[in-house]
Chains A and B, each alone.
Chain A
Amino acid sequence: MIEFKNVTHFYNTEQNEKIASLSGINLKIHKGDFVAIIGANGSGKSTLVKHINGLLLPSKGEVLVENLNTRDMEEVWNIRKQVGMVFQNPDNQLIATTVEDDIAFGLENIGIKAKEMGERVDWALNIVGLNGLRNSEPHLLSGGQKQRVVIAGALAMNTSYLILDEPTSMLDPKGRKNILEIVKDLNKKESITIVYITQFMSEAAQFDKIFVLDKGRIVLEDSPKKVFDKAEQLLGLSLEVPQITRLARELVKSGLDIPGNILNEDEMVKYLCLYI
């Protein structure tokens, strides 16, 4: 379990002002959870997830991963073994000059024996479907493929939590869809806990639970159905609802008796078939 206990994080501006990028965050993410985090730019999403594996430490409060405290200098390495991270820019995360060497990078760091490393790399490559590209150089891959390499690198470490910080924002629709499919599969088949930051509301709608952040606070924490039911509040937070939900709301306003929080096309089709 990931647990935030009253976490506040200050950073210093150039004018030496102390600004809280997170204030009083309390949250629990259980093993096997499939959660999304949304929020406007600067709402503290990235700062929040960087606390999970001790890349940032709370100014106040505690962050616990499997009851290990991120403040504990010794334990932080054990936490990082369990918490894999994927960041936004696919270009700036790959370290080695071939795909397989990059996937092995983390394993080398934690001192895994060569033979076992080979097995784990093969396994991870298979899961993300990149077996054919194992010898490729990173700069020749597409953005989506690069992100898959990063995910494979985390999987090879036998990570149980995968944190993705806007992994699809620089990808094209095909790459975006592909990453989301992989992430869903990892949750279902490998029971890996997923924490996924996104700006795409249609992506967030596909998770089991959404945390909505505003100015360093969690303002909503609920299922997508309930979150996107609060369209006015989301608009006030500079967010929006998926296009299909907007349509549902418009139809409800015009007197059609359907739920106003429809989240995907299939659901919409199902309800409309009752009327036409």
Chain B
Amino acid sequence: MMFFRNITIGQYIYRDSIIHKLDPRVKIITVILIITTIFLVNSWTGFFIIGFYLFINISLAKVHPKFVLKGIKPLLFIISFTLLIHFFTTPGDIIYRIWILNITREGIHRGLFISVRLFYLILSTSWLTLTTSPIALTDGIEKLLSFLKIIRVPAHEIAMMMTIALRFIPTLMEETEKIIKAQIARGADFESGNLVKRIQNFLPIIIPLFINAFHRADDLAIAMEARCYRGGEGRTHYRQLSINSIDHVFIIITLFILIVSYLWVV
């Protein structure tokens, strides 16, 4: 009954590749650009170009496609669900009829479009998280957000919260597993009963988990204070980010391809 052992947080896989060496900021911006474009693009040619571009990026990252597709598996249900909803609920030319449900040409078209968009969305974010270590990601986000400090976006605080979350998620998962097992050893049953009963059954897990998490938070706050932590001001960074020529080339190519995919309507 191993509940959580399989989960790896930030599914980062280390490889010696061009993509891995890119500055995290460049990769984050790339993903934002890709996502914006896939929701603007309205032609199959456009989608094809983006798909090809993603394929190249993933190949360059030297990460086995198996890992990329693993990220899609849990969301397959959502994709197929969206697909079906659009198939049946879009008005237009009816091309097939099952009982009271009509499948329309427009439905198929729209459904496929949305599915491809979701698919690309997951693909591009997986590409980012597979090739960027959680730390680099956090540093990148902090740096990117720091432009927004003028409008009082707490960039450092957000990054610090992400770091702590990343650090403690595995610990808390282990702890959850241990609590579940301990309560099972005391005869607790998490599998039977109606919904209300089941929610009640989870209290013996949730309550200790929260209490322990607060203890940890207390300890951690004291440890941080003892190590001279007093917010982001005057703080330096162990890891230095630098944008070099490869980053420039990459972002220019990306922009070019995305613009082409948007403008290309056949």
Q: List the A side residues contacting B170 at CB < 8 Å.
A: 137, 139
B-contact bits for A83-116, CB 8 A (1 contact / 0 none): 1110101011111111011001111111111100
Q: Assess the B135–A101 pair: CB atoms within 8 A.
A: yes
A153 close to B (CB within 8 Å)? yes
Q: Assess the A101–B239 pair: CB atoms within 8 A.
A: yes
Closest to A83 in B: B226
B194 close to A (CB within 8 Å)? no
With a 10 A CB-CB cut-off, give which of A84, A93, A117, A118 has the most chain B CB atoms: A93
- The verdict on A97 contacting B220 (CB below 8 Å), with A80-B228, A109-B227, A109-B228 known, is no
A8 close to B (CB within 8 Å)? no
Q: List the B side residues contacting A118 at CB < 8 Å.
A: 238
CA of A150 to CA of B215, assembled, Å: 19
Q: Assess the B164–A107 pair: CB atoms within 8 A.
A: no
Our pick among A50, A91, A93, A107 for the contact of B238 (Cβ within 8 Å) is A107
B18 close to A (CB within 8 Å)? no
Which secondary structure characterizes the binding site on chain B? helix
Q: List the A side residues contacting B216 at CB < 8 Å.
A: 91-92
With a 10 A CB-CB cut-off, give which of B225, B227, B228, B236 has the most chain A CB atoms: B227
Tell me how far the C-beta of A118 lies from the nearest C-beta in chain B, rounded to whole angstroms. Answer: 8
Q: List the B side residues contacting A95 at CB < 8 Å.
A: 163-164, 167, 220, 223-224, 227
B24 close to A (CB within 8 Å)? no
Our pick among B215, B219, B227, B237 for the contact of A106 (Cβ within 8 Å) is B227
Our pick among B164, B166, B234 for the contact of A111 (Cβ within 8 Å) is B234
B197 close to A (CB within 8 Å)? no
Q: Scan residues 204-261 of chain B and give those whose CB is less than 8 A from a CB of chain A.
A: 215-216, 219-220, 222-230, 234-240
A77 close to B (CB within 8 Å)? yes
Q: Assess the A80–B227 pair: CB atoms within 8 A.
A: yes
Count of interface residues, chain B, beta-carbon cutoff 8 Å? 29
CA of A157 to CA of B166, assembled, Å: 25
Q: Assess the B223–A93 pair: CB atoms within 8 A.
A: yes
Q: Assess the A101–B226 pair: CB atoms within 8 A.
A: no
- The verdict on A91 contacting B226 (CB below 8 Å), with A111-B236, A114-B236 known, is no
Q: Assess the B238–A117 pair: CB atoms within 8 A.
A: yes
CA of A94 to CA of B230, assembled, Å: 16
Closest to A91 in B: B171
Tell me how far the C-beta of B213 lies from the nearest C-beta in chain A, rounded to whole angstroms. Answer: 10
B-contact bits for A220-232, CB 8 A (1 contact / 0 none): 0000000000000
Chosen A-B contacts, 24 in total, with CB atoms closer than 8 Å, are: A55-B222, A80-B226, A83-B226, A87-B223, A89-B219, A91-B216, A92-B216, A93-B220, A95-B164, A95-B223, A96-B167, A97-B166, A98-B135, A100-B238, A101-B238, A109-B227, A109-B228, A109-B230, A113-B236, A114-B238, A118-B238, A139-B170, A139-B171, A153-B227
> Which 9 residue pairs are nearest across A and B when measured between Cβ atoms?
A92-B219, A104-B238, A106-B227, A139-B170, A93-B223, A109-B228, A85-B226, A92-B216, A111-B234
Given contacts A92-B216, A92-B223, A139-B167, 12 further A-B contacts (CB under 8 A): A80-B226, A93-B219, A95-B163, A95-B223, A96-B135, A101-B238, A104-B238, A107-B236, A108-B235, A109-B235, A139-B174, A150-B223
